[in-house]
Amino acid sequence: MEEISFQYPVVAGQRLDVYIAVLEGISRSAAQRLIECGAVTVNGEERPKSYRLREGDVVECELPDPVPADAQPEPIPLDIVWEDDCMLVVNKPKGLVVHPAPGHPSGTLVNALLYHCGSSLSGIGGVMRPGIVHRIDRDTSGLLCVAKTDEAHEALARQLAERTLKRQYRAIVLGNIKDDSGTVKAPIGRHPTDRKKMAVVQSGRPAVTHYKVVERYGGYTQLELSLETGRTHQIRVHMAHIGHPVLGDPVYGRHTKWEAAHSELLCGQCLHAKTLELVHPKTGEHMRFDSPLPEYFVETVRILKNV
């Protein structure tokens, strides 16, 4: 990303999103997306889109590199768990990027969805994220729901915002967690010095993660985790924050000798989106989907049990 520090005079009292939109010649909604993803800071700190500028404020913005105008269909295999005329649920493998971005212009889940669904995807996410209601990281495996219509997308996004769309994950973390269950409640925002990372920062957005011990393996613990919020890298950041980073995490982990010896097996964080619960956007039916632990996760558990 190219960092641009605005040198224009600040208009006291102007909303931050309006200021960014005018200076960059972009829509207000695009400016809001930049603010919400942590790309905009005021005096070195993230501020909400409604923040009113003051005399002397210094506004900085990291503009993303250009990406293609739209994504193209590609015949990439999909593991479809459920599908009808409103939505589909897919089981994403580790290593598959969800949507095109700088460095990953093709070969993504979106490219596969466009090939499978054609024009039958919600347009709310824009040309680069059609149908995408929520995301998981490239090296996180597991369940995602995708909207085929705008009405379904709005209904699912509302469930996500109201926390009635429930997601449970499985992870293996470093260390033996003392308590059998617990909650991490710590705000998450852009890292103060490394803008490519997230971190627990007081100026961040509220984030809550619940965890429960599934099994212990001496120096490692398998957890079931559920999210109240959906911040970028939330589980990975929260687990690292309490001193138990996710096994294999290349960004927030500790890079242990065990990980180095099994790098080909792990290939990133040992984290799986196992369960998804939602209300069908058209019928109102309560639906629950469960994904079996993938082979890399099962094999990791087998090895740890014998360490």
What is the set of active-site residues? 137
Q: What 8-state DSSP symbol labels residue 138?
A: T
Angle at which helix 28-36 crosses helix 16-24, to 10 degrees, equals 120
Q: How many residues does the chain have?
A: 307
| Contact partners, residue 200, CB within 8 Å, separation at least 6 | 186, 187, 188, 237, 238, 241
Bridge partners of residue 216, in order along the sequence: 221
Place of tokens 């590609």: 74
DSSP per residue over 57-103, as a string? --EEEEEPPP--SS---------EEEE-SSEEEEEEPTT--SS-BTT
Contact 126, 93 (CB under 8 A): no
